[in-house]
Amino acid sequence: MVDIKSLEPKIIDYRRDFHKYAEGGWAEFRTSSIVAEKLVELGYEVSVGLDIAEPEVVLSKPDDEYIEEQKARAIRQGADPKWVEKMNNITGVVGVLSTGRPGPVIGLRFDMDALLIDEEQKEGHFPYDQGFASINKGFDHACGHDGHTAIGLVTAEVIASMQEELKGTIKLIFQPAEELGGGARAIVEKGILDDVDYFVATHVGMTYQGLGLPSNACACGFNDFLDSRFYNVFYAGKASHPCGDPHVGRNALLAACTAALNIHTIAPHSEGLFRSNVGILQAGTARNAIAPNAYMEVEVRGETTKISDYGEKRLLTIIEHAAKSYDVDFEVEFKANTPSGKSDPEMVKIIMEEASKLPWFENVYEEGEVGGSEDATEMMTRVQSKGGLATYIAVGADLSGTVHSSQFDFDEDCMINGVELLTAVVKKIGSK
């Protein structure tokens, strides 16, 4: 078995490369191509495209024109056109290592997509100072998925190196479009998780008792995943000249502003966490025209299905009546959702035991907080429904900047230790 610590420079190289060429959800053609190629080199059986995703349930996917542009961009940035073609416009990679010996199927999940924001390009921001800030304008790994992909690739290498000691099957899932929602569902619906006995999804950073989980700590289970639902809203009013014909217009901009403010006034719920957000609002065509159009990207999240149902009802009510107040037509497109989810205590226990043996982890916590949602819950739920055990873990990392902000960065030291933990768990469960 390879010396894990010696792979630290490699894991950092991977991460910085993915960071520099940040790719948004359903556009991870370059990342997927590199992952696929490496897994093949390491001896994994690699599947992509229609072999790993059910296209009918692909939610939140951008339009074809965008996909074509992104494929071209990815190829210009080094994606292997052969892999891109195989992907059939659906990103993501699954690598399977069969030991040939009967035993459990262990599934590990790593997500690969960047956020659709601009990265900080200023001194003092580590990726910028080190020259690996995103060169893809509008895309930024502000949630650490670059690190997850790097951890996945090095974990793949370590597992491959120790395959003689293992039984059963190792299934590595490199998932697209976690941030947009929808990436996990396509893979789940294809049945990729149906035979998995033990499942671990991994994230860097995260929270423990309200504070950031620092480097040297880890959390071995999570139970506070929010039921989250995403909507796109389209308002269609009527343009007119604001001086010449003001009364003829139907002002979609003011309707959207009213909706946005009112959505943010939706009352909390006494039974648990509720969140709503209008993340994007775009309205209007010209300064000197009453705005005939508006577009919003909106989400609600609840600690339970009941709370999300409450939020959704309030949200849709507001969207409808803010439009009608301004005599504006409206359309709401349901984009994606992710359910809530829980870690299996038995699986948490295994992780805790292994983490406690590793010197890096000074604090090993039973349960951390996501404080949000994650479509890993789609996979966890499927595994559990088939009788398997699942958890979601966090490898703590000191952070710069807030998660999802353009200043976000994480302590790269966490990555190799994450590999240590994951491979220790695989060894524990899958040893001959």
Token pair of 299 as six digits:
């989400």
User: Which among 310, 365, 413, 327 has a CA at the least distance from the CA of 9?
Assistant: 413
Q: How far is the CB of 70 from a second copy (least distance, A)?
A: 17
313 versus 432: smaller Cβ distance to a second copy: 313
Residue 335 has a CB neighbour count (10 Å cut-off) of: 18
76 versus 287: smaller Cβ distance to a second copy: 287
Is 145 one of the annotated binding-site residues? yes
Token pair of 242 as six digits:
């604001």
Backbone dihedral angles phi then psi of residue 329, each to the nearest 5 degrees: -75, 150
User: Which among 328, 330, 314 has a CA at the least distance from the CA of 262?
Assistant: 314
- Could you give the CA distance from residue 185 to residue 12 in angstroms, rounded to a whole number? 30
Asked if residues 431 and 168 have their Cβ atoms less than 8 Å apart, the reply is: no
72 versus 280: smaller Cβ distance to a second copy: 280
Q: How far is the CB of 174 from a second copy (least distance, A)?
A: 21
User: Which amino acid, residue 274?
Assistant: F
- Which secondary structure element, helix H or strand E, spans residue 121, and what is its range? none
Token pair of 227 as six digits:
């039921």
Q: How far is the CB of 286 from a second copy (least distance, A)?
A: 5
Q: How far is the CB of 194 from a second copy (least distance, A)?
A: 29
Token pair of 425 as six digits:
């768990």
Q: How far is the CB of 363 from a second copy (least distance, A)?
A: 19
59 versus 383: smaller Cβ distance to a second copy: 59
Question: Angle, to 10 degrees, between the axis of helix 413-430 and the axis of helix 145-161?
Answer: 40
Q: How far is the CB of 246 from a second copy (least distance, A)?
A: 4
Is 68 one of the annotated binding-site residues? no
> Exposed e or buried b for every residue in 275-297, given b needs 16+ CB within 10 A?
bbebeebebbeeeeebbbbbebb
78 versus 268: smaller Cβ distance to a second copy: 268
Residue 384 has a CB neighbour count (10 Å cut-off) of: 18
User: Which among 214, 224, 208, 222 has a CA at the least distance from the CA of 417?
Assistant: 214
Place of tokens 């601009």: 118
44 versus 139: smaller Cβ distance to a second copy: 139
Is 19 one of the annotated binding-site residues? no
Q: How far is the CB of 11 from a second copy (least distance, A)?
A: 25
98 versus 304: smaller Cβ distance to a second copy: 304
Backbone dihedral angles phi then psi of residue 360, each to the nearest 5 degrees: -60, -40
What residues form the annotated binding site?
Answer: 143, 145, 179, 203, 404
What residues form the annotated binding site for Mn(2+)?
Answer: 143, 145, 179, 203, 404
